[in-house]
Chain A
């Protein structure tokens, strides 16, 4: 698959660094990092990444609300939730908000690769056309 540009949204600096390593090892690029949902929603259109990884529990605006706001700006945004939150109802809320994938932490490179490819194969054509 082609090399994708990523926006990472997470309030954990360790998670950001680990995800950055994995994404770069998979041949992609991290072009923007946001530590809050508000920051991500504000900057999304200026950054316009190919894909977004989004945590749920963050200060000032959670990842579900940030996903809603990004989708109102770009209905084809490719957002993968990467979160510890395993409750089924939360998965439903994330998908209803517009997330295209849901990965449970702790995440490893193989799991991340699988979800990136799934989302790209299913939605990438219309999003990146």
Chain B
């Protein structure tokens, strides 16, 4: 049930898993996390963005938005043990962004309310170049910004407004 779900806590779990994945699997250290509840009508995305939907007893949209240098470096490390032809590089960089959101969000689905049924994830989609997401009435954006030596990565959660109110304020601030 929505009232049992704490969006701020969930964002913290997602952000912490992202920090660990970046560090353990991609050797990218995160030196700052900033949480923010966006009150804007639109959200500006970075160079490359992967998105998926989480659906269980509630529906959330998540987006990971990467600076160009960061996702390119992540790809170099993530795919270092496989051969990628130069003409396929762009597609594999997009796939790296898709795999990252799938792995990180998938790993934390256990922290979502399920009411005894499985939480499902959609297959990720990837948006290239900076675009803008407009929010619907009744929805809010909640963001965690991860800072690395290779650039920034934003984690956005879009969900019903009533999930955000009061709860999100508890996490406002910086690491």
Contacts and interface: CB of A to CB of B under 8 A. Distances in A.
Query: Considering residues B21, B95, B106, which has the most beta carbons from chain A within 10 angstroms of its beta carbon?
Result: B106
A75 B56 CA distance: 30
A88 interface: yes
Given A83-B106, A86-B110, A87-B109, A12 B118 contact: no
B102 A14 contact: no
Contacts of B118: 87, 89-90, 93
B163 interface: no
B105 A84 contact: yes
Contacts of A83: 106
State the 3 A-B residue pairs at the shortest beta-carbon distance, nearest first: A84-B106, A17-B82, A87-B109
A104 B107 contact: yes
12 contacts: A14-B82, A18-B82, A62-B120, A84-B103, A84-B121, A85-B109, A85-B121, A86-B107, A87-B112, A89-B119, A90-B118, A90-B119
Contacts of B112: 87
Contacts of B99: 12, 14-15
A84 B105 CA distance: 8
Interface string B110-141: 10101011111111000000000000000000
Interface of B: 21, 25, 78-79, 81-83, 91-92, 95-96, 98-99, 102-110, 112, 114, 116-123
B122 to A, nearest CB: 7
Nearest to B17: A86
B83 to A, nearest CB: 8
A4 B10 CA distance: 41
Query: Considering residues B98, B118, B119, which has the most beta carbons from chain A within 10 angstroms of its beta carbon?
Result: B118
Contact of A106 (B21, B79, B120, B121): B21
Interface string A69-92: 000000000000001111111100
Contact of A57 (B92, B106, B110, B117): B106
A13 B123 contact: no
A111 interface: no
A105 B98 contact: no
A18 B81 contact: yes
A91 to B, nearest CB: 9
Nearest to B112: A87
Nearest to A87: B109
B159 to A, nearest CB: 18
A18 B81 CA distance: 7
Contact of B81 (A21, A59, A85, A104): A21
A58 interface: yes
Given A17-B82, A58-B123, A106-B25, 13 more contacts: A12-B98, A12-B102, A14-B96, A14-B99, A17-B83, A21-B82, A57-B120, A62-B120, A85-B106, A85-B109, A86-B108, A87-B114, A90-B119
